[in-house]
Amino acid sequence: MNYEAGKCDVAVIGAGHAGIEAALASARLGMKTLCFSINLDAVGNMPCNPAIGGTGKGHLVRELDALGGEMAKAADKTCIQYRMLNLGKGPAVHSLRAQADRREYQKYMKHALEKQENLRLIQSEIVEIGAEDGRVSFVRTATGATWRVKAAIVCTGTYLAGRTIIGEVVAEGGPDGMFAARRLSDSLRSLGLTLRRFKTGTPQRVNARSVDFSKMEPQPGDEEPVPFSFETTEPLKNQAVCYLTYTTEETHRIIRENLHRSPLFGGVIEGVGPRYCPSIEDKVVRFAEKKRHQLFVEPMGLGTEEVYIQGFSSSMPEEVQLKMLHSVIGLENAEIMRTAYAIEYDCVDPTELYATLESKKVRGLYGAGQFNGSSGYEEAAVQGFVAGVNAALKIKGEEPMIIGREEGYIGTLIDDLVTKGTNEPYRIMTSRSEYRLLHRQDNADIRLSHIGRRIGLVSEERHRAVLEKYALVERELKRLEETYIAPTEALGGLLVSLGTTAPQSGVSLADLIRRPQVGYNDLAPFDPCRPELSKAVREQVEIALKYSGYIEKQLKQVEDFKRMEARKLPEDIDYLSLEGLRTEARQKLQKMRPANIGQASRISGVSPADIAALMIHIEKRKQRL
């Protein structure tokens, strides 16, 4: 029997990384919010590697922090090893990654939800979302509780019609042996949403006691760890070491000889898997010429002996997995604690969503995370935040928060999903951004904190501190441009030792720092008026000088982009009737309903010639009006 349980503003379905940020953002914006989880022990779970950040992903975490999200703060409280990736490359691709203590991270996030005003955390499965007159009106639990709501945010992760696969053993279920969300898919289809099947997987967890780490390469953390959150001031401490090892030719032989038992190649797995995080059997087939693949052995936490074999995802039968594992260097006697598995799940076609992450088919229905076709904790978290904020803003009758791709990686991620769609689990990468030199992780605060302040999730005090930080940057840049030093033997000696030439006449400190070989700190002995500045300010100064030409070029590109985005398209336009456009373009535009010319130009199948014809039509329409 169903019963009326009560009313709220926003219902968040799922309490993974997307659901957490959605619920916190909604509640912090004053909405009466319910957050449902099939099992409260799964709140904030990391069913794959308990790590935060990585290439491109670290940028997302920093941007989320600048907007007022929670993930960066949780990471800084619970991570046990920090490493800055890509330091051998330019600052655009520097990306922070940290290994988290899995259970401590869950504990932090669950408590954050529990103590948040306006928020109730409830263990229950949502089996139905109801709508009236095309708008969300209620959510219903498996126990019959009917909650009247104004908005619902679907953050179901890999639970939605989840199916786990280990060789020939196929079972209905979610990650880590949890129940799957079985009935919600039918409800979503009845609302008109188009669902697809995606797949992901995870490797074995083994007991560290059975691992021979002496055969592996240690991967220590950074000497001076950098935090994720701009607000973290206390020093961070690396408390764990990760290790690098490799598969062997024997590993590959075992895999090849058992491909007939692989669900991936035998047709058992129907869902599309992630291209950039393939299973080990997929890698062995696709890269047949490679004699070995890297594997990282990483701890699950400080209070457990479980370690994670990064790069060894598999859906092979358990006995085959054991043989594969024992052929790896240092894992010859490894004891499996959790068998690797693949998991299939339902997700929506993200082109059915607006940039606010609201459904185009049902008002008040939002999606976030793996439900939207993405992969990764960080991708999920930022989408959850955007969905939570926009659900709250819409209920309050305020303008939505839409982050453009010219503003950051969050904008790139969402624009890619809702404009281009995806045929596989989407992962953010620095190469996806046209403006990656502008969208560095180090300057996320100045790029986005003003948006967090506008929506009410960043305090005036914090925003003022950001402005003061960059005022110091500008002041120091001006001083360096105006400060000249004479050529001396000592200066010449330093520059030659750094691999560059000695100046023949007076030169500004700014021009010296512009040289690739010279850093801001190198010139300290020749700069007696140098002010005391924080490491973060010094970093911004150096980047601004060294990359000024490239930054200026990208800023001009952003202005061109904004002009295209400013050319709005009428909501009532009938693309199917337009002449001069190819049939594919008319069909794609009719389905996608882009908001502006810029968005239309990024739709797959719409050519520059189609855009030119579309712009001519818009101009003619304006003249008729």
Q: Model confidence over 310-339: pLDDT tens digits?
A: 999 999 999 999 999 999 999 999 999 999
What is the CATH code of the structural domain delimited by 205-343? 2.40.30.260
Q: Is the pLDDT of residue 278 over 90?
A: no
Q: What would the two tokens of residue 116 be?
A: 């948040």
If phi > 0 it is left, if psi is from -120 to 50 it is alpha, else beta; for residue 357 that is: left
For residue 497, give every residue at least 6 positions away whose Cβ sits within 8 Å of its Cβ, in sequence order, or none: none
Of 247-251, 275-279, 331-335, the range with the lowest mean pLDDT is: 275-279
pLDDT higher than 80, residue 386: yes
- What mean pLDDT comes out for the span 294-318? 97
Burial class (CB within 10 angstroms; exposed 0-12, middle 13-18, buried 19+) of 572: exposed
Residues 388-404 pLDDT 10s:
999 999 999 999 999 99
Strands (E) located in 448-562:
484-485, 507-508
Q: Where are the alpha helices (DSSP H) in 41-197?
A: 57-67, 71-78, 102-114, 184-190
The secondary structure of residue 604, as a DSSP letter, is T
In this predicted structure, what is the pLDDT of residue 120? 98
Q: Which residues of 430-469 are buried (b: 16+ CB within 10 A; e: fewer)?
A: bebbebbbbbbbbbbbbbbbebbbebbbbeeebbeebeeb
Task: Please say if the pLDDT value at position 577 is more than 80.
Answer: yes
Tell me the percentage of the chain whose pLDDT exceeds 70: 99
* 448-490 confidence digits (pLDDT tens): 999 999 999 999 999 999 999 999 999 999 999 999 999 999 9
Q: What is the pLDDT of residue 142?
A: 97
CB 63 within 8 A of CB 409: yes
Most confident option among 258-272, 477-491, 605-619: 477-491
The CATH superfamily label for domain 567-624 reads GidA associated domain, C-terminal subdomain (1.10.150.570)
pLDDT above 90 for 621: no
Looking at domain 469-551, which CATH architecture does it have?
A: Orthogonal Bundle (1.10)
Domain 3-73+104-200+345-455 architecture: 3-Layer(bba) Sandwich (3.50)
The answer on pLDDT for 276 being more than 70 is: no
- Provide the pLDDT for residue 436: 93
**Angstrom distance (rounded) from CA 97 to CA 75:** 10
Q: What is the mean pLDDT of the chain?
A: 95
Q: What is the pLDDT of residues 129-173, one digit of tens each?
A: 999 999 999 999 999 999 999 999 999 999 999 999 999 999 999
Band the pLDDT of 619: cuts 50, 70, 90.
confident
| Angle subtended at Cα 484 by Cα 481 and Cα 489, rounded to the nearest 5 degrees | 135
| 3-state per-residue secondary structure call for 79-114 | EEEEEEECCCCCHHHCEEEEEECHHHHHHHHHHHHH
Quick check: 46 and 102 in contact, CB under 8 A? yes
Please compute the mean of the pLDDT values over residues 428-449 and round it to a whole number: 96
pTM of the model: 0.95
Domain boundaries, the chain: 3-73+104-200+345-455, 205-343, 469-551, 567-624
- Of 23, 68, 44, nearest to 461 by C-alpha is 68
